[in-house]
A = this chain, B = another copy of it.
Amino acid sequence: MSHRVSDEVVEWVTEEIRSGHSSRRHDRTIHKVGAPPKQNLLKEIKESVMETFFADKPLRHFKDQPASRKLVLGLQAVFPILEWGRGYNLSKFKGDLLAGLTIASLCIPQDIAYAKLANLKPQYGLYTSFVAPLVYAFMGSSRDIAIGPVAVVSLLLGTMLTDEISNYKSHDYLCLAFTATFFAGITQMALGVLRLGFLIDFLSHAAIVGFMAGAAITIALQQLKGLLGIQHFTTKTDIISVMRSVWTNVHHGWNWQTIVIGLALLAFLLATKYLAKKKKKLFWVSAFAPLVSVIISTLFVYITRADKKGVAIVTHIEKGVNPSSASEIFFSGKYLSSGIRIGLVAGLIALTEAVAIGRTFAAMKDYPLDGNKEMVAMGTMNVIGSLTSCYVATGSFSRSAVNYMAGCQTAVSNIIMSIVVLLTLVFLTPLFKYTPNAALASIIIAAVLGLIDIDAIVLLWKIDKFDFLACMGAFFGVIFKNVEIGLLIAVAISFAKILLQVTRPRTVVLGKLPGTKVYRNIFQYPNATQIPRMLIIRVDSAIYFSNSNYIKDRILRWLQDEDEHRKENSFPTIQYLIVEMSPVTDIDTSGIHAFEDLYKSLQKRGVQILLANPGPIVMEKLYASKLADIIGEDKIFLSVADAVASFGSKAEEV
């Protein structure tokens, strides 16, 4: 603890003389600690609300504008396409066209495959890739995100829906899927409109990394059904049930023709991925590989009629554009509440993914992205989607990356993709009849492996062990139980971290850096020296009810430890306790009471308390509570150096 004092007694004395000098020299320029004029209550509340909900000042451009201009600005705020559309030109279109075609080729096989993850028929994946991107293109403000169904949300939806209605071929199951999609949209819109977007920040980056990796492995394991041609497969998603199911089927359940097709395609897809990783310019090889593998394997099955030898195929995809599903949403009845619950969870996860993608690309290209506006766009997209036979759509990591690399300029690439999907729905669905499920399985596996971000996990380990713990908690929760439990663990660990932060803030002992008037943590700066008869402690947090008692007790313990140590080394006892309050942004009534208690305890021990640099809010509350008078205004200083200068010499004299 207090090993710092021991062998610097000589330096102390010189330091002491110096600070005595500086005290006198300093007197000319001593500044009073500023106590700001008392603000009135309404203004205070208004400012606090503004900073919480409107930190980005969304209406700043509206100020002092005529009504007509305000209308235009308002429309542009809701439909950003009206703003960027005016500067749209042919060269931008070229980029968007190329990117749109690329992501379309990638999304069509993925859509068909992901729909299966949600236990829905393949056309629903395509429906989702038609309507959702169109809506987003008009309302969204990210230029790089590629919208559509994604693996993790599909899996989450499939798991949660099957928990409610185990017969996923029933009409009720489909209706519940639309209901969940509708409420996912409502949730997203509500978060945006109520400006509660910051709530999704509570799912930490670390937790998302672990959750995604776990979900990827779970999804990949699920694909063993298609890849190995197993007919009777477990409906559970945890690794133990799946591996047991795979193992019990080994003798008569596996189909070797399927395995050959599946593994060949998987090898092909992974090879293209590897190539794209090595040579960034060849990203299009891996982007088109899924479509190519679908075409090749479909032709192969059609020619060899391998389906008659037990190779499972897609069989049928409904032709035509999205039918209306408005009448199929449960707005009452026993499934309403589960629809709301599933929608809430799926909507939040979808949003987390979309916002993470949006932020990443916005930072790379340095354009502003309004999180709350994005949420409204996502929400509207899913509400409209739920009425037109779509399920929950969001931004896809892999397709957004391809979109970016293919040179997309605006959300027009999403429109292009949407048109291609439309054409597919109208003309091409019969062509997928002989597509083997093994092809879809290998596409999913190749896609989700990209969600396992080993580098990020290593970085978590290096930077922050607690983050690593949250990541692993989410990861193991997902693979050993299910996605919901994984999510729950991730959120719980994230919250535990926040609680720890607010319950056990750091307090450090400061010393003076030789030759300066700077006071720093003596553990970080071993050459910092303490002042005789004084103990300087910095409190590194706002002082609230959740930590006020801890801070008080911790300060008293520092004092006791330090006093014992100084006694052992026969240094003079401590007479002044300086609390450096620069980092204390706020103090509440519990904090004030703790300081009163601290003051009383110190009085009993004959130690005087000095405060250094309390902030404006703290000063206001010190005065409002009369604590400033009790401690004495002459004991409140602008800086630690001032406090030492004023009392350091007195301390010496006593």
A interface list, Cβ under 8 A from B = 28-29, 31, 34, 36, 41, 44-45, 51-52, 55-57, 198, 201-206, 359, 363-364, 366, 371, 459-460, 462-467, 494, 497-506, 513, 515-518, 520-521, 523-526, 540-542, 544-550, 553-554, 557, 582-583, 585-586, 588-590, 592-593, 597, 600-601, 604-605, 613, 615-616, 619, 621, 624-625, 638-639
Tell me if B498 and A544 are in contact (CB < 8 A): yes
Tell me if A36 and B545 are in contact (CB < 8 A): no
In whole angstroms, how far apart are the Cα atoms of A297 and B535 in the complex?
61
Q: Among B502, B521, B525, B583, which residue has its beta carbon within 8 angstroms of that of A502?
A: B502
In whole angstroms, how far apart are the Cα atoms of A583 and B466 in the complex?
20
In whole angstroms, how far apart are the Cα atoms of A506 and B584 in the complex?
10
The 5 closest A-B pairs by CB, nearest first: A583-B583, A204-B545, A363-B597, A524-B616, A205-B590
Tell me if A465 and B44 are in contact (CB < 8 A): yes
Tell me if A582 and B583 are in contact (CB < 8 A): yes
Tell me if B593 and A205 are in contact (CB < 8 A): yes
Given the complex, which residues of B lie within 8 Å of A540, measured CB to CB? 542, 583, 585, 615
Known A460-B589, A616-B524; judge A600-B366 contact (CB<8 A). Answer: yes
A614 nearest in chain B by CB position: B524
Given contacts A366-B604, A366-B605, 17 further A-B pairs with CB under 8 A are: A29-B516, A41-B465, A201-B545, A201-B547, A204-B546, A206-B545, A206-B589, A359-B597, A459-B589, A460-B589, A463-B588, A463-B621, A494-B546, A501-B544, A518-B638, A540-B542, A583-B583
Tell me if B198 and A550 are in contact (CB < 8 A): yes
Tell me if A625 and B459 are in contact (CB < 8 A): yes
In whole angstroms, how far apart are the Cα atoms of A624 and B464 in the complex?
9
A278 to chain B, nearest CB (A): 23
Known A31-B518, A616-B523; judge A45-B465 contact (CB<8 A). Answer: yes
Tell me if B502 and A501 are in contact (CB < 8 A): yes
Given the complex, which residues of B lie within 8 Å of A590, measured CB to CB? 204-206, 467
In whole angstroms, how far apart are the Cα atoms of A28 and B597 in the complex?
44
A27 to chain B, nearest CB (A): 12
In whole angstroms, how far apart are the Cα atoms of A592 and B501 in the complex?
17
Given the complex, which residues of B lie within 8 Å of A619, measured CB to CB? 524
Tell me if B34 and A524 are in contact (CB < 8 A): yes
Given the complex, which residues of B lie within 8 Å of A516, measured CB to CB? 29, 31
A589 to chain B, nearest CB (A): 5
A607 to chain B, nearest CB (A): 12
Given the complex, which residues of B lie within 8 Å of A371, measured CB to CB? 549
A644 to chain B, nearest CB (A): 14
Given the complex, which residues of B lie within 8 Å of A41, measured CB to CB? 465
A580 nearest in chain B by CB position: B582
Given the complex, which residues of B lie within 8 Å of A546, measured CB to CB? 201-202, 204, 494, 498
Tell me if B624 and A463 are in contact (CB < 8 A): yes
A617 nearest in chain B by CB position: B506
Known A52-B504, A467-B588, A521-B615; judge A545-B462 contact (CB<8 A). Answer: no
A617 to chain B, nearest CB (A): 8
